[in-house]
């Protein structure tokens, strides 16, 4: 079953009341599942569970559609049988009606009492007996004709009622099947939209892993393994959803091309790339637009006894090289294909805040990235917002201008 979905019009939050289907009709709220998960910030178990929920919902809606279509087929068959029975009775009634008309005309033209007078004028008893026998047979035949006519009239009325009931049932079954089809479209669309959101998460987190490769390769590999499980889950979705993901992604890319003027998804760094010196030595590269606030953060942290540095800007050329190796050499493979299509899954160039110089992976104590139990993390959690930086939950080392 190939569904024509326009999934990007669906709301992936908790449905409230009847929602609009991709085709414009109302959708039963039970056709959609409640999605109460922040794809970028939730852990993999929550996202995996939601992927399972939306997939199971699609299968349930498809099963309901199959049942509705079976009911429609049965109702249409019943209607066809009722039509055939009604047509047969009408044809028989037309034939009997001709004979019934003859009986009525004969009774009017030659009343029975005239036959009685004729019998009295018979020449012999044998003639009288023969004539009476003929009259009796004719009377029986006439009575049978009239009885059959009356029976068929009653049968016709009953079959007309049955046909009306069958037509009503068929119309109702058709409406149910149409509604079930709309529910399948809505559920499949919701699944596809959520899959696209998970694609974005993969891009972001895999780009983060690539940014960490030089400083903390073990952590980078841990992130890749974790996100690889989600990539596998996405690739196991059925063909309809895969097709819708491709359509949604194409529409998204077209919208980006129209609204954002930069080549192949790579934005220019706002204010250029600037080296910000770390109090304990070394430097961190960030976008010029945030260099002043980053410098103040590092200085104030040092005065509080927290010595930090970090890794900020990452040249998109590095990610392009990784994509070329893992995804293919075509423009589509490098810049547009979802990260889950690559082997291993690899983020698209331009999707990481590091490539815009707007994110920092903080280090402390001479090298390693900070953890959630460190003094550096506690200081950042209490103060970073004052410098315009926010943490992505689950990654204590990663801070950016929007928390992504």
Q: Which of 225, 241, 259 is the last residue of a domain?
A: 259
Q: Is residue 128 part of a domain?
A: yes
* Residues 270 and 287 sit within 8 Å (Cβ to Cβ): yes
Taking only the tens place, the pLDDT of each residue in 155-169 is 888 888 888 998 999
Q: Which residue has the tokens 């996202």?
A: 47
Least confident range from 34-48, 164-178, 184-198, 228-242: namely 228-242
Establish if 300 belongs to a structural domain: yes
Q: Check residue 301 and give its pLDDT.
A: 93
Residues in a beta bridge with 391: 399
Residue 340, domain member (yes or no): yes
Q: Name the more confident of 125 and 55.
A: 55
pLDDT of residue 258: 45
Average pLDDT over residues 132-150: 59
State the SS3 of the chain.
CCCCCCHHHCCCCCCCCCEECCCCCEECHHHCCCCCCCCCCCCHHHHHHHHHHHHHHHHHHHHHHHHHHHHHHHHHHHHHHHHHHHHHHHHHHHHHHHHHHHHHHHHHHCCHHHHHHHHHCCCCHHHHHHHHHHHHHHHHHHHHHHHHHHHHHHHHHHHHHHHHHHHHHHHHHHHHHHHHHHHHHHHHHHHHHHHHHHHHHHHHHHHHHHHHCCCCHHHHHHHHHHHHHHHHHHHCCCHHHHHHHHHHHHHHHHHHHHHCCCHHHCCCCCCCEEEEECCCCCEEEEEHHHHHHHHHHHHHHHHCCCCEEEECCCCHHHHHHHHHHHHCCCHHHHHHCCHHHCCCCCCCCCCCHHHHCCEEEEEECCCCECCCCCHHHHHHHHHHHHHCCEEECCEEEEEECCCC
pLDDT at res. 161: 87
The whole-chain average pLDDT of the chain stands at 76
pLDDT tens sequence across 266-281: 777 878 899 999 998 8
Instruction: Verify that 22 and 157 share a domain, yes or no.
Output: yes
Asked if pLDDT for residue 182 goes beyond 60, the answer is yes
Q: Among 222, 237, 259, which residue terminates a domain? A: 259
Query: Which carries the bigger pLDDT value, residue 143 or residue 125?
Result: 143
Q: What is the pLDDT of residue 264?
A: 58
At residue 251, the pLDDT reads 61
Residue 27, pLDDT score: 54
Q: What integer pLDDT is reported at residue 398 of this predicted model?
A: 92
Residue 240 has pLDDT above 90, yes or no: no
The residue segments making up the domain with residue 342 are 269-400
Q: ω before 344 within 30° of 0 (cis)?
A: yes
Mark whether 38 and 104 lie in a shared domain.
yes
CATH value at residue 208: 1.10.287
pLDDT digits 0-9 by tens, 284-330: 999 888 888 899 899 999 999 999 999 999 888 888 898 999 989 88
Q: Can you give the pLDDT at residue 55?
A: 86
Indicate which CATH number applies to the domain containing 292: 3.30.1380.10
> Which domain-ending residue is among 259, 285, 315?
259
- Look at residue 138 and tell me if it is in a domain: yes
The arithmetic mean of pLDDT across residues 139-149, rounded, is: 63
367 and 275 in one domain?
Answer: yes
Count structural domains, the chain: 2
Span 13-34, pLDDT tens digits: 333 333 344 444 455 667 888 8
Q: Is the pLDDT of residue 247 over 70?
A: no
- pLDDT tens sequence across 73-94: 999 999 899 888 888 888 887 7
Domain shared by 121 and 249, yes or no: yes
Q: Which of 75-84, 108-117, 192-201 has the least mean pLDDT?
A: 108-117
pLDDT at 123: 54
pLDDT of residue 120: 47
Q: In this structure, what token pair is assigned to residue 203?
A: 């891009």
The pLDDT assigned to 378 comes to 94
The reply to whether 231 and 333 lie within a common domain is no
pLDDT in tens, 330-388: 888 888 888 888 888 888 888 888 888 889 999 987 768 898 889 999 999 999 988 88
Same domain, 395 and 294: yes
Q: Rounded CA gap, 327 and 202, in Å?
A: 14
Domain shared by 170 and 283, yes or no: no
| 250 and 329 together in one domain | no
Do 247 and 98 share a structural domain?
yes
- Tell me, yes or no, whether 32 lies in a domain: yes
Question: For 131-140, what is the mean pLDDT?
Answer: 50
- On whether both 249 and 357 belong to a single domain, the answer is no
Average pLDDT of the residues in 39-67: 86
Counting other chains too, the contacts that 265-272 makes at CB distance below 8 Å and 24 or more residues apart are 265/335, 265/336, 265/348, 265/349, 265/350, 265/351, 266/316, 266/349, 266/350, 266/355, 267/350, 267/355, 267/356, 269/313, 269/356, 269/357, 270/356, 270/357, 270/358
Is the whole-model pTM more than 0.85? no
Q: pLDDT value at position 260?
A: 38
233 located within any domain: yes
Q: Do 278 and 331 sit in the same domain of this protein?
A: yes
The answer to whether residue 264 is domain-embedded is: no
């Amino acid at each position: 079953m190939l569904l024509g979905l326009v999934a990007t019009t669906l709301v992936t939050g908790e449905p409230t009341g009847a929602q609009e289907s991709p085709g414009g009709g109302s959708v039963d709220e039970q056709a959609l599942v409640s999605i109460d998960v922040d794809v970028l910030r939730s852990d993999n178990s929550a996202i995996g569970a939601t992927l399972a929920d939306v997939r199971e919902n699609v299968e349930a809606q498809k099963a309901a559609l199959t049942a509705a279509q079976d009911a429609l087929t049965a109702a249409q068959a019943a209607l066809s049988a009722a039509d055939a029975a009604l047509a047969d009775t009408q044809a028989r009634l037309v034939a009997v009606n001709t004979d019934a008309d003859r009986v009525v005309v004969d009774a009017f033209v030659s009343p029975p009492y005239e036959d009685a007078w004729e019998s009295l004028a018979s020449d012999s008893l044998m003639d009288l007996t023969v004539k009476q026998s003929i009259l009796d047979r004719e009377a029986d035949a006439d009575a049978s004709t009239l009885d059959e006519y009356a029976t068929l009239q009653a049968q016709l009325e009953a079959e007309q009622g049955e046909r009306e009931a069958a037509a009503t049932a068929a119309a109702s079954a058709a409406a149910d099947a149409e509604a079930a089809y709309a529910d399948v479209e809505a559920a499949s669309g919701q699944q596809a939209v959520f899959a696209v959101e998970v694609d974005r998460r993969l891009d972001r987190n895999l780009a983060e892993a690539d940014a960490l490769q030089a400083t903390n390769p073990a952590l980078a590999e841990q992130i890749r393994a974790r996100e690889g499980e989600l990539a596998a889950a996405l690739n196991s979705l059925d063909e309809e959803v895969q097709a819708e993901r491709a359509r949604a992604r194409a529409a998204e890319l077209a919208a980006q091309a129209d609204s954002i003027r930069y080549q192949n998804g790579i934005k220019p760094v706002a204010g250029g790339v600037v080296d910000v010196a770390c109090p304990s030595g070394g430097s961190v590269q960030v976008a010029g637009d945030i260099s002043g606030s980053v410098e103040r953060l590092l200085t104030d942290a040092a005065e509080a006894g927290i010595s930090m540095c970090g890794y900020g800007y990452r040249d998109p050329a590095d990610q392009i090289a990784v994509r070329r190796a893992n995804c293919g050499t075509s423009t589509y493979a490098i810049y547009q294909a979802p990260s889950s299509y690559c082997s291993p899954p690899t983020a698209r160039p331009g999707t990481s805040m590091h490539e815009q110089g707007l994110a920092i992976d903080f280090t402390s104590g001479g090298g390693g990235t900070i953890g959630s139990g460190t003094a550096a993390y506690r200081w950042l959690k209490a103060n970073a917002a004052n410098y315009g930086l926010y943490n992505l939950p689950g990654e204590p080392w990663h801070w950016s201008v929007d928390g992504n």
